Every structure is written in C-alpha cells, then in structure tokens.
Chains A and B, each alone.
Chain A
Amino acid sequence: AQSVTQPDIHITVSEGASLELRCNYSYGATPYLFWYVQSPGQGLQLLLKYFSGDTLVQGIKGFEAEFKRSQSSFNLRKPSVHWSDAAEYFCAVGFTSGTYKYIFGTGTRLKVLA
C-alpha cells in the first residue's frame, strides 16, 4: 500500500546549525512530493514541491529538498536554521491509484535552541 513515513518525531538543532528532515514514501512510480510547515496555531503552508525534472528543488524560507528515486526519499534541508523555523513539518505525497490520493506524513516537530 502507498504510504509516507517521517522517521523522526522530534528534532532539536541549535540556531545556525544545518537541518535535514527525512521523508520516505512507498509507491510504485514517482509521486508528486511536497513539504509543508505548520507554525503553532496556524494552518499548513506549502514550502516546496517536486513533480519532475531537477531533483533538487528550492522552496520558500531558504529550504530545499532533494528527490532520490533510488532511496524513495524526499528529504528537506536548510543550511542554517533560524529560531523562527521552530514548527511542525509535514511531508506529503500525491499519486494516482484509481483516483487521486494525497497522503500526509505524521510530521516532525523541530525545536531550535538559541
């Protein structure tokens, strides 16, 4: 069955450190891939997306993600984290299986230390 996994429930990094959030999916073909951020008390905001082409995609707020077909992964990265990046991050995949489906991962909570 199709699924999306975010292995890390919580991640803590120091401000200025680099960040990588993991996302793995299970699907027979290449799905559409997305990362969203949810700040406390807010809805989800789309950070970036991958459909095809260049496997390294740039998003808003200095984030980027790399699609690796061989690893079925779409990890989110940021070279230098700011305190305002503390939030919940969700990976999502969209794929067609009869009808179109869209699945969210369980989220990774990022804490940033000053």
Chain B
Amino acid sequence: DTAVSQTPKYLVTQMGNDKSIKCEQNLGHDTMYWYKQDSKKFLKIMFSYNNKELIINETVPNRFSPKSPDKAHLNLHINSLELGDSAVYFCASSQVRRGQTRGYTFGSGTRLTVV
C-alpha cells in the first residue's frame, strides 16, 4: 500500500535512554516532516527535509537529531530522553511545487512514553 509508515507505534523507555523512530514514505514525495503532538493535541513542527536537505529546524533541543538517508526516509533520533519528551510523534510527507504543498500525508504516529 502507498503510505507513510513509521515504527515503532509505541515506545516506552526510561529517562536518559537514547531511542530512534523510523519513517518511510513510498508516495514519491520530495519533502518529509516530523511533528510533535502534545497531550492537548497541539501539533508542532520539528523538522522538515526536502530531498534530503534540512529546510526547517524549529526550536527543538539538540538532543533531537533527524537523519534523512534518502528522500523516502526520515528518521528521528532522541538522546538522553526526558519526561517532557513524552508525546505522539508524527511523520508526514508532501510534494512541494513552486514553494507550496498541496497537503500532507501523515503516518499513524509513534506514542513515546518516558518513565
């Protein structure tokens, strides 16, 4: 199926650990994103990559490091996890034309719980 798939769906880990979330899209889109959704459902952009190049890097702790090995993959690595990192992380992709996107396709999310 054509989709944005991210793994794992659930991640429970202790404070101080390092973890990664993987994302892959087979839609042929050139731009991928990571969003964080907090407990109040607020969606905040974290990173955006266009053809493997970082184009958006919002105010995110440098414990968060995205990696895009190719334009179909965008992984998120988090070092030294903190309680406040608990949230749902969404990967998304889109095709950008003339500087605009016509809508995102989202993955189903990774619920991260730091204990």
Q: Which residues of A contact B (CB under 8 A)?
A: 32, 34, 36, 38, 41-46, 49, 51, 88, 90, 94, 96, 99-100, 102, 104, 106-107, 109
Contact = CB atoms under 8 A, between A and B. Distances in A.
Contacts of A34: 103
Nearest to B41: A107
A96 B100 contact: yes
A106 B40 CA distance: 8
Given A42-B108, A43-B109, A32 B102 contact: yes
Contact of A94 (B4, B55, B101, B108): B101
B104 A106 contact: no
Interface string B21-54: 0000000000000000000111101000000000
12 contacts: A32-B101, A43-B106, A44-B43, A46-B105, A49-B103, A96-B99, A100-B101, A102-B45, A102-B101, A106-B41, A106-B42, A107-B42
Contact of A90 (B43, B92, B105, B109): B43
A94 B105 contact: no
Determine which residue in A32, A90, A100 has the highest number of CB atoms from chain B within 10 A of its CB, and name it: A100
Interface residues of B, number: 22
Contacts of B100: 32, 94, 96, 100
Interface of B: 4, 40-43, 45, 55-56, 90, 92, 96, 99-109
Contact of A43 (B40, B102, B108): B108
Contacts of B4: 43
B90 A51 contact: no
A99 B100 CA distance: 10
Contacts of A88: 41
